[in-house]
Amino acid sequence: MDKFIIKGGVKLSGELNASGSKNSVLPIMVATLLTTGRSVIKNVPDVDDVKHMIKVLEYLGAKVTFKRNTLLIDVPSKVGYVAPYDFVRKMRASYYVMGSLIGRKGKVDASLPGGCAIGERPIDLHLKGFKELGCDIKLEKGYVKARCKKLKGKEMFLEGSKGTSVGATINVMMAAVKAEGKTIIKGAAVEPEVSDVARFLNSMGAKITGIDSPVLTIDGVEKLFPAEYSVIPDRIEAGTLLVSAAITGGELLLKKCNPGHMDAVLNKLKEIGFKLSIGENEIYIKSSRILKPVNIDVLPYPFFPTDMQAQFVSLLSLVDGISIVSENIFEKRFMHVPELLRMGANITIDSNKAIIKGVKKLLGAPVMASDLRASAALVLAALAAEGESEIKRIYHIDRGYESIEKKLRKLGAKIKRVEE
């Protein structure tokens, strides 16, 4: 098991390219199961979640080659329909096989999902959508078993008690593209990753309209075809890299990103006081001497993303004054806070709020990552801290960030990966 050793206090500066979106490419990979033949997916991040999804596809019968951020996925005429516990427990996104296999085969046996331990994330909306399309759903011995003689399009409302669901929208959309007739999904998630999957499905021959809106209309088709497609930039990786320059008092020119997907994050950086220059596919950020505390409400897109909450908690811990971050998506997503306290942060948790009183400096310390974005938050804090930090369990960060230590070293960071 690897860990990071980071010597903090270096102002990061330089130029980087953003990687492709992890949260887009995982369902896009699975969507290739809806047809036979070879699809080509470009701008794929080289992260552990992608490697894990390759194993899922291979288990189901596909042949996959991954080189230089490009995936070649060759799907045979016959594929399996079982996603075992050993796969799904390691990565929650494995559950996307449900939508694609229901669309292709009318049946799937999928283990209930695992993934990051950041709170309850039920799949009730996924199952509701499948039932609306005509599936019979049973839960047996930890597996979802779905059977459908004929998928039929239907109008449905897919929003839950906590708002829209990215996973449910994508999963139901993948099944609905092969349903007979018209499906209308109201309360659809509008995250860029949902739109990216919809556009990939359309490139395969699907007929989806209303993309980027909360109402998706899907006219079912009998057949889909292999496609070539390039994944959108990863807005969360991009935001994390911008914060790495911000928290160390440095500057960064980030290229090959999509600023239009990052309005909420960029607006908060401006509000805090950082200087930003935004182009069509690049962002320049520079630190400022005068920084102000802010309040952040975490909500579904286009509002501030839950996947950037932890990184901003680290950043705001060094901004003079009191900031309040309200997490309205996941109830257990402050697990980075006890580790930040070990580094000298002054943060109080009150229900779903982190009340952050800025301190003058953080001090290096041994800390332990609990999930993907908490890992990023601890790396950011360590980059800014005085002295040396040791971050354990960095396998979490490898799930979603491509060679993050190499990118940070390009900016001057003193970070190395060592075996424990």
- Binding-site members for UDP-N-acetyl-alpha-D-glucosamine are 92, 121-125, 307, 329
Alpha-carbon span 60 to 112, nearest angstrom: 17
Q: Three-class SS of residue 239?
A: helix
Phi, psi of 409 (to 5 degrees): -65, -30
What angle, rounded to 10 degrees, do the helices at 97-105 and 22-31 form?
20
Instruction: Give whole-number Cα distances, 178 to 100, 190, 195, 205, in Å.
Output: 9, 21, 18, 11
Question: Which residue spans within 224-294 are E strands per DSSP?
Answer: 228-230, 251-255, 275-278, 282-286
Judge contact between 130 and 102, C-beta under 8 A: yes
Indicate if 135 belongs to the active site. Answer: no
Catalytic residue among 116, 135, 148, 257: 116
**Rounded distance between C-alpha atoms, residue 115 and residue 396, angstroms:** 10
List, in order, residues 6 or more apart from 191 with CB less than 8 Å away: 23, 166, 300, 301
For residue 338, count CB atoms less than 10 angstroms from its CB and return exposed for 0-12, middle for 13-18, buried for 19 or more: middle
Q: If you ran DSSP here, which 8-state letter would residue 381 be given?
A: H
Among 415, 413, 414, 417, which residue's Cα sits nearest to residue 394? Answer: 417
Per the annotation, binding residues for phosphoenolpyruvate are 22-23
Q: What is the DSSP letter of 12?
A: P
Report the alpha-carbon angle 33-35-40, nearest 5.
75
State how far the alpha carbon of 352 is from the alpha carbons of 111, 115, 265, 298, 335, in Å. Answer: 30, 21, 20, 10, 12
Q: What residue numbers does the annotated binding site cover?
A: 22-23, 92, 121-125, 307, 329
Alpha helices in 297-336, H assignment, sequence order: 309-316
Angular region, 366: left φ>0, alpha ψ -120 to 50, beta rest: beta
For residue 204, give every residue at least 6 positions away whose Cβ sits within 8 Å of its Cβ, in sequence order, or none: 31, 34, 35, 39, 224, 225, 226, 227
Sign of the C-alpha dihedral, residues 158, 109, 40, 203? negative
- Residue numbers annotated as active site: 116
